[in-house]
Amino acid sequence: MELLKQRILEQATVIGSEVLKVDMFLNHQIDVALLNEIGKEFFRLYADAGITKILTVEASGIGIACITAQYFNTPVVFAKKGVNRNAEGEIYSCDVFSFTKNAKACIGVCQKYLDKDDTILILDDFLAYGSALTGLIDIVKKSGAKLAGAGIVIEKGFQQGGQAIRSSGIRVESLAIIESMDNGKIVFG
């Protein structure tokens, strides 16, 4: 998606060779007009997939999911972090590891919000090592719902998450794939 790539080149900052900060338009301050273009693009990609629900994980995924859901006319469900599997009863949960935060968290969705008749589109802001996405896929599998695929705003193609998930047969559409960020220079795939 050219508009997104252009914005990344103009405004994102690279820290080291692995961290990309896009908090000026995507995950702290949010450019809602850009989010609408992102939503339209996800709709273009998955318009024929029969999506009945969009699944994401708090916090950065929620804005993307809500704006995109307007094009699909579906509800959004967001997985909550810090779920206590034992205390909260009927929850589909999964442990995910955040490399950014260097911490493990349990994410979960109330079972009543994912039905086996649903067709799910998973959306998230980033795909790097794929831990959050793998967790969300696992939650969809546990629910018995059909998974249409995932939509990712920015994929770090030089980390292994996207490759591993695609090779397991799951459709992953990323709007911008970064091949490298060596010496602070962003190169798209």
DSSP codes, 108-142: EEEGGGS-TT-EEEEEEEEESS-HHHHHHHHHHHH
8 A C-beta contact, residue 4 and residue 34? yes
CB of 187 to a copy of itself, least distance (A): 27
Residue 17 within binding range of a copy of itself, rule CB under 8 A? no
Residue 73 to residue 154: CA distance in whole angstroms: 24
Annotate each residue in 125-164 with x if it binds a copy of itself (CB under 8 A) or - if it does not, as one string: ----------------------------------------
- Selected range binding a copy of itself among 65-73, 123-131, 137-145, 170-178, rule: CB under 8 A: 65-73
Give the interface size with a copy of itself as a residue count (CB under 8 A): 30
In 3D, which of 34, 39, 31 has the Cα closest to residue 56? 39
Interface residue with a copy of itself among 4, 12, 38, 76 (CB under 8 A) is: 76
Q: State how far the Cα of 177 lies from the Cα of 163, in Å rounded to an integer.
A: 12
Strand partners, 81: 107
Among 46, 63, 129, 175, which residue interacts with a copy of itself (rule: CB under 8 A)? 63
The residue written with tokens 């998606």 in the block is 1
Among 8, 22, 38, 77, binds a copy of itself (CB under 8 A): 77
Which residues from 26-55 bind a copy of itself, rule CB under 8 A? 28-33, 35-36
Interacting residue with a copy of itself among 59, 85, 104, 188 (CB under 8 A): 59
Segment 166-169 long-range contacts (CB within 8 Å, at least 24 positions apart): none
Binding stretches for a copy of itself (CB under 8 A): 23-24, 28-33, 35-36, 58-59, 62-63, 65-67, 69-70, 73-78, 80, 109-110, 112-113
